[in-house]
Amino acid sequence: MLTIVSIHFHTALISRGYALYSANNSYYDINFIIVVIVIALTPLIYFISVFKKESFVLENFGLPSHVKRISERERLKKEMEIAAKVQLSLLPKEDPKIPGYEIASTSIPAVEAGGDYYDFVKLSGNKIGIAIGDVSGKGVGAAIYMTLTKGILQAHAEEDASPKNVLGKVNRLLYKTIEKNSFVSMFYAILDTENNSIIYSRAGHNPGILCSEQDGNTKLLFSKGMALGLEQGSIFTSTLNEEEIKINSGDVFVLYTDGFTEAMNERQELYSEERLVDLIKKNRNLSPHDLLNLVLKDVKKFVDNYPQHDDMTIVILKRV
C-alpha cells in the first residue's frame, strides 16, 4: 500500500514539475526546484539509511485474538481427547469372576476428562482388592496422576493384605511425586471370599454403601482418613482407620465417585447421596448389573439434558 501511494505521489510531482519547467517563468522555476527537492528526498533518505545500516521493520503484533482463541480451543480439545484415551485404557476391560459373588462396574467420563479410577487386584488366597479413586483436577494432568496412582497401588497391593498399610505406601510415593495443590481420594477394600468379609480404608473418598438384603438396613462406611498426597506420612497414617464388615447372603456393597452424588440438573439441584442410598435400598434384590443400569437411568432422568460436569464411576458387589 505504501509503495502504491508513493508511486502515485511521485508520478504526480514529476508530471506537474515538468509543466512548471516548460513554462519558462522565473517564478515557476523556483517551484520546479522545490518539486525536484521533494522528489529527491525519498532516495536521499534511502541512501542515508543504507549508509547507516538502518532498516525499517514492521512491528509484529502476533496472531489476532480470535485466531488465538480458536487455536487454544483446538489445543484443549486435543488435550482432552488424549486424557480420555489414557483414562479409558487403564480401567478394567471386564468385571472379575468371583465365586459366590456378582460384580458390576462402569466409568462414564465427562466432556472434560478427569481422573476417576477404579481397579480390581487379584491377591493371594481367596482375596481380591477393590479400589476406587478420584484425582483432583481435569485434563491430561489428572489422567497422568491416575496412571501413576494405578501403578503404585498395583505394585504394593500384593505385598500387604492391609488396606491401611497399602494406602500408606501409596501416599508416601504420591506425596513425593504430585504437585502440592493436587491430591487423590481413594476407597480401598479387600474382599475375603472365604470369610465373606471386607476390610477397608477410606482416604478422603465418598463413603461406601452396605445394604442388607434381609432387613434393608443401609450403612454408610465413614471410616476416618485424609486424601492421598496431602501429607508425607505421619499425620496421614495416624488419621487413617481400617475397619471390617461382614457380607451376608444378598448384601449389596457399593463404591462410587462424587460424579453421581453431585450430578446436577437445570435447577442446580444435586442428585445427592440420600437419593442414591434410597434407590439402592429399594432395589437391593436386583442383580448388580440391573442395579447399575437402574442407577444410571435414574441419574440420567434426574439431570435431563443438563451437561455432565464430572466423571461418574461406580462399583457394585453382591453376595449371591
pLDDT of 317: 98
What is the pLDDT confidence band of residue 70, given thresholds at 50, 70 and 90?
Answer: confident
Q: What mean pLDDT comes out for the span 126-151?
A: 87
Q: In a 3-state reduction of DSSP, which class is residue 287? A: coil
Whether 41 and 117 share a structural domain: no
Whether 163 and 16 share a structural domain: no
Residue 140 resides in a domain: yes
Strands annotated E in 205-263:
208-211, 218-221, 243-246, 252-256
What is the pLDDT confidence band of residue 63, given thresholds at 50, 70 and 90?
Answer: low
pLDDT of 215: 82
Residue 23 has pLDDT above 90, yes or no: no
Percent of the chain with pLDDT over 70: 90
What is the pLDDT confidence band of residue 121, given thresholds at 50, 70 and 90?
Answer: very high
Is the CB of residue 281 less than 8 Å from the CB of residue 209?
no
Whether 269 and 224 share a structural domain: yes
β-strand pairing of 127-135 with 184-192: antiparallel
Contacts of residue 110, defined as CB under 8 A and 6 or more positions apart, other chains included, come to: 259, 308, 309, 310, 311, 312
pLDDT of 283: 96
pLDDT of 202: 97
For the entire predicted model, the pTM comes to: 0.75
Whether 7 and 129 share a structural domain: no
Whether 79 and 42 share a structural domain: no
pLDDT of 56: 62
Domain assignment of residue 285, given as a range? 71-319
Residue 138 has pLDDT above 90, yes or no: no
Whether 97 and 46 share a structural domain: no
What is the pLDDT confidence band of residue 316, given thresholds at 50, 70 and 90?
Answer: very high
Structural domain count of the chain: 2
Whether 124 and 162 share a structural domain: yes
Residue 15 has pLDDT above 90, yes or no: no
Q: What mean pLDDT comes out for the span 144-170?
A: 90
What is the pLDDT confidence band of residue 42, given thresholds at 50, 70 and 90?
Answer: confident
Residue 57 resides in a domain: no
Residue 27 resides in a domain: yes
Task: Name the residue type at position 292.
Answer: L
The domain that holds 251 is classified in CATH as 3.60.40.10
What is the pLDDT confidence band of residue 113, given thresholds at 50, 70 and 90?
Answer: low
Place of cell 547507516: 52
What is the pLDDT confidence band of residue 309, given thresholds at 50, 70 and 90?
Answer: confident
Question: With the C-alpha atoms ordered 153, 156, 158, 162, is the resulting torsion angle positive or negative?
Answer: negative
Whether 113 and 254 share a structural domain: yes
Residue 116 resides in a domain: yes
How many angstroms separate the first and last alpha carbons of the chain? 83
What is the pLDDT confidence band of residue 169, given thresholds at 50, 70 and 90?
Answer: very high
Whether 124 and 238 share a structural domain: yes
3-state helix, strand, coil split of the chain in percent (to 5) is 45, 20, 35
Residue 290 has pLDDT above 90, yes or no: yes
pLDDT of 200: 97
- CA distance linking residue 243 with residue 207, whole number of Å: 13
Residue 27 has pLDDT above 70, yes or no: no
Residue 114 has pLDDT above 70, yes or no: no
Whether 174 and 216 share a structural domain: yes
Q: What mean pLDDT comes out for the span 68-79?
A: 77
- The mean pLDDT of the chain is 87
- CA distance linking residue 293 with residue 201, whole number of Å: 27
Residue 80 resides in a domain: yes
- CA distance linking residue 172 with residue 159, whole number of Å: 16
Instruction: Write the DSSP symbol of residue 215.
Output: T
